[in-house]
Amino acid sequence: MRQKIKFYMDEHVSKAVVQALRRRGVDTLSVVEAGMMGASDEEHLNRAKTEQRVIFTQDDDFLRLHANGIKHAGIVYVPQQTRISEIIQGLMLVYQVLDAGEMQNHVEYL
């Protein structure tokens, strides 16, 4: 059975993105809600992996961690300055097309 993606939002993600995903029924956890403000990128990856959450980020440091072979539950990356509406559309597409298993140790670029 297909396991839906749950998102873990990096600390610089707009609250508008979190709220929009939740209104669409997507399980979303922010860094603030997780009590992880100021944690290292490795700690964020570990927390997300433990909870089987895909990290959404605009921080390319996560791409370097992936390239270095750090295991994770998935990363969705979008460059800075991307419009909020494009981010929401892209995340919803990922949510609708991919499942949690397909995101394991995978990076999806929006």
pLDDT digits (tens, 9 = 90+) for 7-53: 999 988 999 999 999 999 999 999 999 999 999 999 999 999 999 99
Measured CA to CA, the distance from residue 95 to residue 110 in angstroms comes to: 12
Q: Quick check: is 2 in a domain?
A: no
- Give pLDDT tens digits for 65-74: 999 999 999 9
* Greatest Cα pair distance in the chain: 36
Q: Quick check: is 1 in a domain?
A: no
Task: Give me the domain span that covers residue 12.
Answer: 7-109
| Full-model pTM | 0.95
Q: Quick check: is 36 in a domain?
A: yes
Measured CA to CA, the distance from residue 69 to residue 80 in angstroms comes to: 24
Domain count, the chain: 1
Domain CATH code at residue 92: 3.40.50
